[in-house]
Structures are given as structure tokens and as C-alpha cells.
């Protein structure tokens, strides 16, 4: 426990709120590892633009982890650092990778929505609810971006290398 002048610092987060934030941390770290895995799979397949794109996405998920970790710290707590299982599934190509990422971002959006509603309505923590609005915005943009990328990819399935070059510039 943290102490100032030998007095313990009490966390400003309710244990239930902290638990939900720790779950969000686990989800962000999972997404980061998934995108690293997809990047490696795309590298192996020769889609270096897509590899670059997913490496960037992985880094952004780590940034989300840092934001939540720092918020928990600012509120007098210590974020859990969960173990993230290895991801070994085969990702067949760019279309599969995009759909997997879309599903992951959509799941994160739904999770943040549930966390926000729970924190705001049930736990009456308006400070954390306000903090979570940033993540709802991030997830809406991510879901939209992946939806757009999937649509673009499906419109020209024969131009895979052109799409790979395009996505590498994002």
C-alpha cells in the first residue's frame, strides 16, 4: 500500500470499478498481442504493408493500456498486469485479418459500453464514467475504420497487393 508521511493512501476507485478497469487492461493487452500475431502472419505471407499497419495497431493498443494504467494510478490504485495467452491461430490472408480485427474492436466497443453503463448507473462513479468516454470514441472510430477497410478490400479482391500498399500507408 502506498503511504505519505507513513499514512496509507486510500484508492479513490471502488473495488468493483478497479476490477472492470483491470478487465479492460486485459482486453487491450490481448488486442495488442493479437495484432502483433497478425503482423507476423502477414509478414510471412509477404504482405508487408499490412504487417506495418498491424504493428502500428498493436502499439496503439499498448498506448490504451498505458492510459488506463495511469488513470488507476492517478486515482491511488495499482493496475493489474494480467498474463496474456499466446496466440497461435493461422490467419489466412488480409481479409481474414481485417475481419478478425473488426470483431476484436467491436467486442472492445461493447465491453466499454457495458463498463461505462455499469460505472455510471450502478456504481455512481461519474469521474471514471467521464474517463471512459474517450475509449468509447476510440472504439467507435476503430470499428468504423475496419468496416471501411473491409469494404474497400472486398470491392477489389484481385488487387491484393495494391490494397497491401494502401494499408501500409495508413
Residue 29 lies in a domain: yes
- Helix axis angle, 126-155 to 160-168, nearest 10°: 150
In a domain, 68, yes or no: yes
How many domains in the chain? Answer: 1
132 in a domain, yes or no? yes
For the chain, helix, strand, coil in percent to 5 are: 75, 0, 25
Tens of pLDDT along 56-113? 999 999 999 999 999 999 999 999 999 988 899 899 899 999 999 999 999 999 999 9
Domain contains 18: yes
Residues in the chain: 170
Residue 47 confidence (pLDDT) above 80: yes
Instruction: Give the torsion through C-alpha atoms of 99, 63, 27, 14, to 10 deg.
Output: -150
Compute the distance between CA of residue 102 and CA of residue 161 in angstroms, rounded to an integer.
21
Q: Which of 57, 77, 69, 56 has its CA nearest to residue 26?
A: 69
Q: Is residue 1 part of a domain?
A: no
Question: Any residues with CB less than 8 A from the CB of 125 and at least 6 apart, and which?
Answer: 13, 14, 17, 119
Tell me the per-residue pLDDT of 2-43, one tens digit each, with 9 for 90 and over: 555 665 668 899 999 999 999 999 999 999 999 999 999 999
> What CATH code is carried by the domain that includes residue 119?
1.20.1260.10
* Span 117-167, pLDDT tens digits: 999 999 999 999 999 999 999 999 999 999 999 999 999 878 999 999 999
Cα–Cα distance, 150 to 3 (Å, whole number) = 51
Q: Classify residue 69: in a domain, yes or no.
A: yes
- Residue range of the domain that includes 54: 13-168
Query: What is this structure's pTM?
Result: 0.92
Residue 154 inside a domain? The answer is yes
Q: pLDDT (tens digit, 9 = 90+) per residue, 68-82?
A: 999 999 999 999 999
Amino acid at each position: 500500500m502506498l503511504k505519505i508521511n507513513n499514512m496509507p493512501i486510500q484508492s479513490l476507485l471502488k473495488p468493483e470499478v478497479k476490477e472492470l478497469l483491470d478487465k479492460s487492461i486485459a482486453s487491450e493487452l490481448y488486442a495488442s498481442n493479437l495484432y502483433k500475431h497478425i503482423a507476423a502472419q502477414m509478414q510471412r505471407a509477404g504482405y508487408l504493408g499490412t504487417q506495418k499497419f498491424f504493428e502500428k495497431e498493436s502499439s496503439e493498443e499498448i498506448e490504451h493500456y498505458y492510459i488506463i494504467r495511469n488513470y488507476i494510478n492517478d486515482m491511488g490504485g495499482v493496475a493489474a498486469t494480467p498474463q496474456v495467452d499466446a496466440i497461435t491461430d493461422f490467419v489466412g490472408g488480409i481479409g481474414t485479418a481485417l475481419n478478425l480485427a473488426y470483431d476484436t474492436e467491436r467486442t472492445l466497443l461493447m465491453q466499454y459500453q457495458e463498463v461505462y453503463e455499469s460505472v455510471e448507473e450502478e456504481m455512481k462513479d461519474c469521474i471514471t464514467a467521464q474517463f471512459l468516454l474517450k475509449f468509447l470514441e476510440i472504439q467507435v472510430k476503430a470499428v468504423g475504420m475496419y468496416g471501411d477497410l473491409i469494404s474497400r478490400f472486398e470491392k477489389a479482391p484481385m488487387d491484393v497487393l495494391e490494397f497491401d500498399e494502401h494499408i501500409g500507408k495508413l
